[in-house]
Structure 1
Amino acid sequence: MMLGTVQLGVLAACIVLFVPMAMAGWHLSRNKMLFFSGALFISLAVGVHLSPYFLSITDFISSSSSSSSPSSFDSGNDRDFCLPLLHEIYFHIEQVRSINGTLYYLKSWGWPLSGAVSGCGFQKLGRSHASDFLNGSWVVVAGDSQARLVALALLNLILDSERMDAVRGDLFKRHSNYQIVVSDIGMKLDFIWAPFVSNLTDLMVEIKHYPSYPDVLVMGSGLWHMLHVHDASDYGVSMKHLKGSVMSLLPMSPELGDDGVVSGSASFRSPPFFWLGMPMLVDSMLNTEEKRERMNGAAFFAYEAKLRQSKILRESGGPLLLLDIHSLSRDCGRRCTEDGMHYDAVVYNAAIQIMLNALLIESHQNL
């Protein structure tokens, strides 16, 4: 700024010196030339002295506008602004014909590059960055087949293709638990087969007696209950019991109300626990008559209403952040599922990246 002021002063001096000389060459009267020279000198002198203040004001306005942008996660306001936007993604599906004439689809996804979402700076973490971030972590994924696909997506991000070939067979043993330790980054992952909400409640009671809690917990249930019990009211009661078990794991805080809802100024934050939402069900594509009869859109919305009424989700004051598989699967559409219930890897890959970005926001780390 000092250098610019000096240069401006030199320019003013040149104008004051040479303009009157030029005017004298045009045979103006001496009084007119002196008047013009004086007025010009005074105007330029005032401008030179005031210019640093105008520059300072400009810098202040610029810095103020940049500090209000939600491009970093250093403040609670930015965090609360960006978390609800994590699911604002788009899917791109392109039909491609192979050499032998077979048609298939290339599927990809991303966050918009413009609008409010772009200001949050969400990024897809690659293997190296995801491994660094999850280094030394204990991750627990519990639930039904949807949770198993989420566990697969996370391991697929962390492990190379050779190790993934060995993982798939063991992870997808029917109705079984699975555990793996990724020794090079010290990450431990437990998949717990828990198809009913009551199984998740039992798991919370078990975790409460552990010497330490998981660093990341992802759980979800509903499809099995919808198929085998088909009673939304019973599901709602189970969800309220689960909420109580989850709340018992949380650190005590003076901001917790009697019903466990966080109140007041929000300095208290729940641990990074996630609820895995149910996918969009395409009942015409389901593979049995019983599924087509019981797992339809009306049943989904009845179960979804009970989930919301339980107030277990963070958006209603509860402890769990939602991984909204329903919105992701709906946006990807029918071309992303073969059985109307389980979706292609692109959907669960997006869910994992949403989870990782949420963890970065919660931990106040920039991407």
Structure 2
Amino acid sequence: MVSAAAQAGVVAACVVLFVPMGLAGWHLSRNKVLFFSGALFISLAVGVHLSPYLPSLPHLLAASFFLPHPGGTPSSAYSSASSSCVPFLHRVSWSDSAATGRTWAWPPSLASTCGFARLSRDEASLLLNGSWVMVAGDSQARLLVLALLRLLLDPAAAAAAEPDLFRRHSDYRATVPARGISVDFVWAPFESNLTRLFREDLRLAPRVPDVLVLGSGLWHMLHVTDAASYGDALASVTAAANSLRSPLPVPPPHMFWLGLPRLVNHMLNTEAKRAHMNVTMLRSYDREVDQRGLLRGNGGPCMLLDVGKLTQGCGQQCAADGMHYNGEVFDAVLHIMLNALVIESQQRI
């Protein structure tokens, strides 16, 4: 028989669950990413509320939502996944499969501790329900959009979208009407294109994207080949991104920076690329990204999607031409971003 204390706990938990969730649905209906994560956060709060009455829950919560102390023993104060798991998002392992070739996964221990997971089509659609996702950059950005469309759409619809998406030097727009999701790709191969996007296009728009992914550098490396100039251009992007965030009456976009891939010099398909796009130049360009205040770790607006680390892990067998990598790499990039969105949205509540 359920004790009176347990019954009272269940009633209180229902209040904790449904009242805030109703308020969240009212106030956060514009930002579905935030509402989805709010629901997860409130569910966790209910679990914590019930834990005195269900002895098995504390152990389950500790195993599923909190990281152990770095020394290997539990910390005296729990550290939530929303603050502790972000540094581990890129810690994926690669393996070979006879059926699919190279594939990736989070280590089981890390997946269970932080709750990282590949999202299904339904889960991704629920997370992005009603959201506007904008990806601006070069061919790498197109590959990320393709990975997103392959997740959100059925295979036939995703395949039908590819010719328009990969139309040379052009923008692209797609929608998922059932979920109210809009996906925009903006062709922006140079940093000046990104700065203009912030200072002109988005500033004049009646609404800003809920999720904004930016990336550039390959065209600059090939056509300008000057890391200091690239850094100066990144500083302008950073200032423009910060100026967009500051006056907004609504939460700013979730911003991500798409890092540069590992370059396999001997596979590059032109002499100019082999001459200018080498390992030394890549390292100098990566340093500029780290030093120009763009990334979250340096107080900047963008979380890094570390394509360089992921392409290094997958290896040159995943590279089609020494610069562009296969779909499995960008599937990993996409799921790192989606898992980061869940964590980041919880922090905004």
Q: Does 1:354 pair with 2:333?
A: no
Secondary structure at the residue paired with 1:363?
A: helix
Structure with bigger RCO (C-alpha 8 Å, 6+ apart)? 2
1:91 Cα offset (Å)? 1.3
Q: Does 1:83 pair with 2:86?
A: yes
Q: How does 1:154-303 map to 2 (within 5 A)?
A: 154-205=148-199, 206-251=201-246, 271-303=253-285
Separation in 2, partners of 1:77, 1:109? 25
2:146 corresponds to:
152
Moved over 2 A (4+): 58-70, 75-78
2:65–2:80 contact (8 Å) kept in structure 1: no
Counterparts in 2 of 1:313 and 1:76: CA distance versus 1, 3 Å: farther
Counterparts in 2 of 1:67 and 1:132: CA distance versus 1, 3 Å: closer
Secondary structure at the residue paired with 1:346?
A: helix
1:77 Cα offset (Å)? 4.6
Counterparts in 2 of 1:117 and 1:159: CA distance versus 1, 3 Å: closer
Percent of pairs with identical residues: 46
Residues 101-160 of structure 1, C-alpha deviation per residue, up to 9 Å, x if partnerless?
A: xxxx6222110012x553101010011111111111111010000000000000010001
1:306 aligned to 288, 295, 301, which one? 288
1:125 corresponds to:
119
Separation in 2, partners of 1:155, 1:72? 32
Q: Does 1:142 pair with 2:124?
A: no
Q: Does 1:327 pair with 2:309?
A: yes
Gaps of at least 5 residues in structure 1 are 4-57, 97-104, 254-268
- What code does the residue aligned with 2:156 have? E
Residues 317-343 of structure 1, C-alpha deviation per residue, up to 9 Å, x if partnerless?
A: 111011111101100001101211000
What is the root-mean-square deviation in Å for CA atoms of aligned residues? Answer: 2.7
Separation in 2, partners of 1:72, 1:359? 18
Gaps of at least 5 residues in structure 2 are 4-51, 68-77
Counterparts in 2 of 1:302 and 1:158: CA distance versus 1, 3 Å: same
- What code does the residue aligned with 2:264 have? V
2:208–2:253 contact (8 Å) kept in structure 1: no
Separation in 1, partners of 2:345, 2:160? 33
Separation in 2, partners of 1:216, 1:90? 26
Q: Does 1:106 pair with 2:101?
A: yes
Question: When the two structures are superposed, what TM-score results if normalisation uses the length of structure 2?
Answer: 0.76
1:66 Cα offset (Å)? 6.3
